Amino acid sequence: MNKPITHTAQPVAAIPDKQNSSGRRQVLFRLTVTSLVILGVWQAIVVIFSMPPFILPSPLLVFDKLISNPELLWDHSLITLTEIVLGLLLGLFMGIGLALQMLLFNPVRRWLLPVLIASQAIPVFALAPILMLWFGYGMASKVIMAALIIFFPVTTTCFDGLRHTPTGYLDLATTMHANRWRQLWHIRLPAALPTLASGIRVAVVVAPIGAVVGEWVGSAGGLGYLMLQANARMQIADMFAALFILALFSILLYYSTDQLLKKAIPWYREKPNNT
C-alpha cells in the first residue's frame, strides 16, 4: 500500500519579513554611525580651531537649545511641517494631473511640454516675492512655493512612466477590446508607478526648501521665520537647532514615503545590491 504524500508548509512569508527587518536595522545602524561621525567631526572642529559660538556653535550647545525651549520650537515646527505636507499634496495633484492631460490629449502635450521645460529656466526662488504679493504672508504662499518646487520632477517622472508603458501590455489590452480609459487605469498607471515613485522621493526631500524660502521672504511663524529672528539677534545656536529639525523632517519624510511606496507597489522590487 502506497503511503500518502504529505507536504510540509514552508514559511515562505517569513523570509521577506526577516529580510525587511534586517534591512531596516542596517539602515538605522548606518544612519546612527553617520550621524555620530558628523557630530564628532563638528565637535572636533569647534575644539581644535576654538570657534566662537556666534560663528560655529558646538553640538552640545545646539542640543541644549533643542531641549531648553521645546514649546517654541514645536510651534514653529508644526507650522513648517503643515506647509510641507500641504505643498506635497498640492504638487502631486498638479504634477500627476498635468502628466495625464499631456498623455491623453495631444494638443495639450504639444503646447504645454515646451512651456513646462522652459519654465525651469526661471529660478523658483525668484517667484517667492511675487507669491507673497499675490497670496499674502500667510500659509497659502508657502504651500504654493513648496508645490512649485516639486511640480517639475513629479510631472516629468509621471509622464515618462506613462508614455513608456510596455507595448506588449497595450497590444494585449487592445486585443481584449479594452478602451482608452481602462488601459490607463489598469495598465499605464500601474506601469508608471515605479518611475513616479522616484519623482515622489525627490519631491519629499526638496519640498522643505520651498516652505523655508517662503518663510524667509515673509512670514509670522515657522522654522524659516525662527532662523531669521535668530540671525538678527546673533543667536546662531538657535539657527542650527532649526536646521537640525528641518534635516530631521527631510529624513523622516523620505523614509516614511519610501516605505509607503514599497507597500503601494508590491509588484516592483529593487534588485539586491551585493557589492
Averaged over 49-57, what is the pLDDT?
A: 85
Q: Specify if 4 maps to a domain.
A: no
Is residue 124 within 8 Å of residue 148, measured between CB atoms? yes
Q: Who's near 267: CB < 8 A, 6+ residues apart?
A: 190
- Span 153-164, pLDDT tens digits: 888 888 888 888
Averaged over 51-79, what is the pLDDT?
A: 86
pLDDT of residue 180: 77
At residue 275 the predicted structure's pLDDT band, cuts being 50, 70 and 90, is very low
Q: Specify if 134 maps to a domain.
A: yes
Q: Specify if 13 maps to a domain.
A: no
Q: What DSSP character marks residue 122?
A: S
Among 10-19, 26-35, 53-62, 221-230, the minimum mean pLDDT is found in 10-19
Domain identity same for 108 and 40: no
Give this prediction's pTM: 0.79
Helix (H) or strand (E) holding 192: helix 189-217
Q: Specify if 15 maps to a domain.
A: no
133-149 core/surface letters (b: 16 or more CB in 10 A; e: else): eebebebebbbbbbbbb
Q: Could you tell me the residue range of the domain that residue 32 belongs to?
A: 21-51
pLDDT of residue 86: 93
At residue 17 the predicted structure's pLDDT band, cuts being 50, 70 and 90, is low
Domain identity same for 113 and 97: yes
For residue 113 the three cell numbers come to 511640454
135: domain CATH number is 1.10.3720.10
Is residue 49 within 8 Å of residue 58, measured between CB atoms? no
Domain identity same for 196 and 115: yes
Q: Specify if 183 maps to a domain.
A: yes
Using alpha carbons, select from 110, 126, 128 the residue that is nearest to residue 218: 128
Tally of domains within the chain: 2
Q: Specify if 169 maps to a domain.
A: yes
- Span 222-236, pLDDT tens digits: 888 888 888 888 888
Using alpha carbons, select from 73, 67, 45, 76 the residue that is nearest to residue 58: 45
Among 91-100, 124-133, 251-260, the minimum mean pLDDT is found in 124-133
Domain identity same for 232 and 247: yes
Instruction: Choose between 162 and 21: higher pLDDT.
Output: 162
Domain identity same for 67 and 99: yes
Domain identity same for 135 and 260: yes
Domain identity same for 38 and 86: no
Domain identity same for 31 and 63: no
Domain finish residue from 51, 66, 92 = 51
Domain identity same for 242 and 159: yes
Domain finish residue from 51, 73, 94 = 51
Domain identity same for 171 and 205: yes
Averaged over 264-274, what is the pLDDT?
A: 63
Q: Specify if 9 maps to a domain.
A: no
Using CA atoms, how far apart are residues 116 and 111, in angstroms rounded to an integer?
Answer: 9
Domain identity same for 46 and 62: no
Mean pLDDT over the full length of the chain: 81
